[in-house]
Structure 1
Amino acid sequence: MSGTEHVEQRLRRLLRDNRFRPGERVGSERALAEQLRVSRSVLRRALERLEAEHLVRRAMGQSGGVFADDGKIQRHLNTVQGVPDMVRRQGLSTETRVLRLELAQPFPDERRALEIDETAPVIRTVRVRYAGNATLSLDTSVLPARRFPGLLSENLDGSLYALLTEHYGLQIDRAEETVEATTADARQAEMLEIPQGSGLLEIYRVTYDADNWAAEYAHDFFRADRTRMHMQRVGTNWKRSRL
């Protein structure tokens, strides 16, 4: 057994014996190398093998390290965050494919959510998001066109929230979301490259700015086999205890 294989086996035991939950931080590369008494180069080769099996993932940066993994992207319900930022923070590459970008009249549900009249045009974009080499979500975002002039000529293959903040001064304050379980129809299955009938998480979202103005109405479908929802719940005395 090579040195890399030996370290790989020790890492497997470490993950199993400590019962790390998916998304839980195992430690930094430096700390793990010291704990296992191996060089970081050997440790990295062993981690690469475990990453290929979706047993761990590595993230760079101050809050990075080695995390237990099962191949799913953790979506924090307490935070308003764009998909690219969410995916990158979990150590994966991300890509966006724009399927549609149009100026249109709002549908009734879009008009109600954005609190606009039926003659007010909207910008509607439909995009497929990727995490790593596989699809993650099919996203539809609808925005009031008068609030975001020139948006149709912008590049929307990155973070929409970052673009709206940098180019239009949007200050996102909060979002209201509804999450339901559903299955992929023929169109969704084709766009997400999954079998028809696969599990999806259907999300409706209205995003508000600091003035309580509805800036975006979104209707997204996240692959259930690639997504985990996470939220923090607090007791009734939470605010009082922090005053």
Structure 2
Amino acid sequence: MEQAVAENLQRRMLAEMGSGTLAPGSRLGSERELAEHYGVSRATLRQVLAALQEAGLVRRVPGRGGGTFVNHAKVERDLSRIAGVPAYLARQGYVAGTRVLSTGMTVADHQTCSALQLKPDSLVVDIRRIRLADGTPISLDHARFPADRFPGLLEMPLGGSLYELLEQEFDTTPADAEELIEVVHATDDEAALLSVETGAPLLSISRTTYDSEGAPFEFSGDLFRADRTRIITRIAGRGLRGNSRRNGEFVELSVTGLGQA
């Protein structure tokens, strides 16, 4: 009986979070106030709050100014639409921000040469950035572009959507992309930059983006916080192709869509 009450309360609180009744960042009342409001025992309430905390939906802050707070909803990363990070964050009600970590010209490694179909020792523009949602780090972006195709790119403002910048300045528009998505664990440096604990799960997205002529012009490796990101896609016909051939311990799914530079 008590378990059924807990499950009902959890469903109710999840519905209130989804509707905005319990808004992201809001502070919940005390255990006594919440138990009275929902008509449950404090033991049942603690059980539900513990489950919500484990799922990353609430956080409990100790101390006089602490309490239980509703976490921000996950950012949806849509694989099937052409949109930059600022655009899809704004569409979901977030304030987008960018912190440029480093930029430079470098010799492409073997993987980059293969992805961008470059000759060995070709130069690429290398850009590393942190993306923010409402001031909170959401991803680490590492993008590489053929240097001879985009002269002067490093002297341009790199804090917004690179896709929009490439379209405006170089008449290059993304038409297609191939992405490989894996779960990895944050290193010490990645954890510090993303404000997560070392070893926390991250969504690693490797992307090669092509123009309307089918030529690759971007090779990226992005790390998204798994606790703040949800992957979605829309499938039409044969847009998603499952490859049942195992590669080691992994089963590959090939998704044709577009990313976010």
The verdict on a shared fold, with TM-score over 0.5 as the criterion, is yes
Gaps of 5+ in 2: 1-8, 28-56, 58-70, 239-261
Give the conservation status (yes or no) of the 8 Å contact 2:98–2:159. yes
- Name the residue aligned to 2:90: 88
- Are the structure 2 counterparts of residues 74 and 184 from structure 1 closer, same or farther at C-alpha, using a change threshold of 3 Å? same
- Name the residue aligned to 1:241: none
Q: Deviations over 1:130-171 (max 9, x none)?
A: 001210000000000011010010110111111011111112
Q: Deviations over 1:29-83 (max 9, x none)?
A: xxxxxxxxxxxxxxxxxx697243399xxxxxxxxxxxxx952100111123221
- Of stretches 69-78 and 123-132 in structure 1, the one that deviates more from structure 2 is 69-78
* Residue in structure 1 matching 2:225, options 215, 223, 226: 223
CA distance in 1, matches of 2:84, 2:195: 22
- Name the residue aligned to 2:144: 142
Q: Which amino acid aligns with 2:213?
A: D
Pairing 1:50–2:27 present? no
- Are the structure 2 counterparts of residues 123 and 18 from structure 1 closer, same or farther at C-alpha, using a change threshold of 3 Å? closer
Gaps of 5+ in 1: 1-12, 27-46, 56-68, 237-243
- Are the structure 2 counterparts of residues 167 and 18 from structure 1 closer, same or farther at C-alpha, using a change threshold of 3 Å? same
Matched residue count: 187
* Residue in structure 2 matching 1:214, options 201, 216, 229: 216
Give the conservation status (yes or no) of the 8 Å contact 1:80–1:175. no
CA distance in 2, matches of 1:19, 1:235: 32
- Name the residue aligned to 1:127: 129
User: Shift of residue 16 of structure 1?
Assistant: 3.9
CA distance in 1, matches of 2:232, 2:80: 8
Pairing 1:71–2:73 present? yes
CA distance in 1, matches of 2:199, 2:24: 28
RMSD across aligned positions (CA):
2.6
Q: Which amino acid aligns with 1:226?
A: R
CA distance in 2, matches of 1:122, 1:73: 30
Q: Deviations over 1:7-45 (max 9, x none)?
A: xxxxxx9x94995895xxx6xxxxxxxxxxxxxxxxxxx
- Are the structure 2 counterparts of residues 81 and 21 from structure 1 closer, same or farther at C-alpha, using a change threshold of 3 Å? farther
Q: Deviations over 1:155-191 (max 9, x none)?
A: 1011111101111111210110010011101111121
- Name the residue aligned to 1:174: 176
User: Shift of residue 231 of structure 1?
Assistant: 1.0
- Are the structure 2 counterparts of residues 20 and 49 from structure 1 closer, same or farther at C-alpha, using a change threshold of 3 Å? closer
Structure that is richer in helix per residue: 1
CA distance in 2, matches of 1:229, 1:127: 20
- Name the residue aligned to 1:97: 99
Normalising to structure 1: TM-score of the pair? 0.70
User: Shift of residue 232 of structure 1?
Assistant: 1.7
CA distance in 1, matches of 2:83, 2:191: 25
Q: Alignment partner of 1:210: what SS?
A: coil
CA distance in 2, matches of 1:136, 1:211: 32
Query: Which aligned pairs between 1:189-200 and structure 2 lie closer than 5 A?
Result: 189-200=191-202
